[in-house]
Structure 1
Amino acid sequence: MTSGRDPEESVQIRARSILPARRENIELHTADGLTLVGELAQPLDRPPAATIITLHPLPTHGGFMDSHVYKKAAHRLPALADLAVIRFNTRGTESARGASEGEFDYAESERYDVAAAIEYAEFHDLPHRWLVGWSFGTDLALMHGHDPAIKGAILLSPPLRFSGPEHLSAWAQDGKPVLALVPEFDDYLRPDEARERFAAIPQARVVGVEGAKHLWVGETYVHRALTEIVNAVRPGFGPLPTTWDGPMEEEPSPLRRLNRTGRAAR
């Protein structure tokens, strides 16, 4: 739905703003025979400068490819920062895009899901590939994202629930950059403890985000997270713009789509 405004008028980017991009539905095919559904968003009229592969929060607690930070990343970052954004539902997870085959497997068989997403990005020549995990997705990144095709990992609200010392050690030995964005009021792991635990990865940078909570609710915190992501994958980019002076669409209403668990997107 278009906003009906003058396309040359600079306006504030809001929660439901959708900036121009090339968007296409995609399917990922895992080594254990499953088909996963997702979306690829790319800059409208130029090649992407870098790529983020997003790994969503825990599907048994409402996480899916439309979890709000990732949807906003797909709506904004192709236009604002020339990024390609891959979102997909891990096995057994459903969204408005559709349902991925299989069943949730507590971060074990999900290794094939992560590998399929990386393989898709490689096959389609998407450049400078980074993993971006959120909550459960950070465990997937740490456990299964240690891949030669990946430049580094960005972790939003990492609980370190499924991942263990051996996974941190693998990232430490590789030397690839790891950025952990840890909310001041996180439900599971707060900045001071995160710094202690991520000390196992010498090159890891832990950034405490004042005022933020685990779900990154509020435009202030979404903008901070997206800015940190962009500056990790495109060093020196600077703060993301908060206004847009080109064509823009808007979601017609703040839909709270349900995933297979019956819980609203988070």
Structure 2
Amino acid sequence: MGQKIRANSVLPAVREELTLETADGLRLVANLAVPEDRAPVATIICLHPLPTHGGMMDSQVFRKAAFRLPALAGVAVLRYNSRGTWSEQGTSEGTFDNGVGERFDVAAAIEYAEFHDLPDVWLVGWSFGTDVTLMHGLDPVVRGAVLLSPPLRYSQPEHLAAWADDGRPLTALVPELDDYLRPDEARERFAAVPQAEVVPIEGGKHLWVGNAERALDEIVARVAPDVARPLPREWDGPMTTADTSAYNAHNLAAYKDVAVPGPAQRSADQG
């Protein structure tokens, strides 16, 4: 009988610390995790939440993706700290640029994936990372995108129009109790993109605490549809345990994005 996969469980993978170099001359801290015993079937590039409020490559859903998906789904996971972003793995050069200069960051990650022949590249953005995805993600290498808790704060209607014209798959995973954009409003906003799929996450909140497994299942359903789901919750093989205490304390204290509130949040604020 296998061991239960817990929040800090680390399954086997080949993991490599990287430095990504941007076209405007910055060096970014990054990490790649690929399956240990086979070629990856797909690749996700993780675009993290708002760094000015604690978002980073080790934010919990992306950390768990790197811990689990290479072994459970055969998916390669490329994460990076965008310009000026800190995590315990290091601090990337530069300063936060409100989603503008970050175009060079995501381009550097995509270029790395292309140069190293990583297959079927998808972007997975979370909160601020969804805006960066919508603004700068339509690279020829990218197959499509999955958006977690999209606030639609920095991205503009013209970015949605560009995805609509392009036609590539776009999925928005929208928590039912999100602070900024909830499912009904998300359906209205993403109606501008005919191919966009809006998936409500019942009982979910912006930070995905308690719902990481659901997020990973939904991501794998899009990027590696031949993989059985739900993903296993137990593992019959070697497994180590990561010390995530520093990440958890940092994240829970800090990384809720500041965004223009939607109607639900405005009502709560007024109440």
TM-score range, shorter chain: over 0.9
Matched residue of 1:113: which SS? helix
Match of 2:245 among 217, 229, 254: 254
2:51 maps to 1:59: yes
CA–CA separation in structure 1 for the residues paired with 2:74 and 2:175: 27
Matched residue of 2:129: which SS? helix
Q: Relative to structure 1, is the Cα distance of residues 139 and 252 closer, same or farther in structure 2, using a 3 angstrom cutoff?
A: closer
Q: Assess if the C-alpha contact under 8 Å between 2:26 and 2:94 holds in 1.
A: yes
Matched residue of 1:192: which SS? helix
Residue 239 of structure 1: aligned partner: 230
Q: Assess if the C-alpha contact under 8 Å between 1:257 and 1:264 holds in 2.
A: no
Matched residue of 2:191: which SS? helix
What aligned pairs does 1:193-204 form with structure 2 within 5 A after superposition? 193-204=185-196
CA–CA separation in structure 2 for the residues paired with 1:121 and 1:222: 25
What aligned pairs does 1:133-152 form with structure 2 within 5 A after superposition? 133-152=125-144
Q: 1:11: how far off?
A: 1.3
User: Which whole-Å deviations, capped at 9, do the CAs of 1:57-95 have from their partners, x for residues lacking one?
Assistant: 000011001100000000000000001000100000011
Q: Assess if the C-alpha contact under 8 Å between 2:7 and 2:64 holds in 1.
A: yes
Q: Assess if the C-alpha contact under 8 Å between 1:128 and 1:151 holds in 2.
A: yes
Matched residue of 1:131: which SS? strand
CA–CA separation in structure 1 for the residues paired with 2:19 and 2:160: 30
Q: 1:239: how far off?
A: 1.3
Q: Assess if the C-alpha contact under 8 Å between 2:59 and 2:247 holds in 1.
A: no
Structure 2: 5+ residue stretches without partners: 257-271
Matched residue of 1:104: which SS? coil
CA–CA separation in structure 2 for the residues paired with 1:214 and 1:74: 20
Greater fraction helix: 2
Q: 1:252: how far off?
A: 3.9
Matched residue of 1:154: which SS? strand
Residue 24 of structure 1: aligned partner: 16
Matched residue of 2:208: which SS? coil
What aligned pairs does 1:44-193 form with structure 2 within 5 A after superposition? 44-193=36-185
CA–CA separation in structure 1 for the residues paired with 2:119 and 2:243: 33
Identity of paired residues, percent? 65
RMSD, aligned CA: 1.7
Q: 1:265: how far off?
A: 6.0
After the TM superposition, list the runs of 4 or more consecutive aligned residues in structure 1 that deviate by more than 4 angstroms: 263-266
